[in-house]
Copies of this chain bind each other. A is one copy, B any other.
Amino acid sequence: MSQIRIRSKIWLEVDGQPFLGDGRYRLLSAVQRNGSINAAAKDLGISYRKAWSRLQAMEESSPFPLLERRVGGKNGGASQLTPEILDLMERFKTLRIQVNDEADRCFTACFPEGANRC
Contact = CB atoms under 8 A, between A and B. Distances in A.
Nearest to A97: B106
Interface residues of A, number: 32
Interface in A93-118: 94-95, 98-99, 102-103, 106-107, 110-111, 118
A5 interface: yes
A64 B2 CA distance: 10
A21 to B, nearest CB: 9
Interface stretch (A10-18, A26-34, A47-55, A70-78): A10-18
Contact of A15 (B3, B13, B98): B3
Contact of A107 (B14, B63, B95, B110): B95
A104 B6 CA distance: 19
A106 B16 CA distance: 19
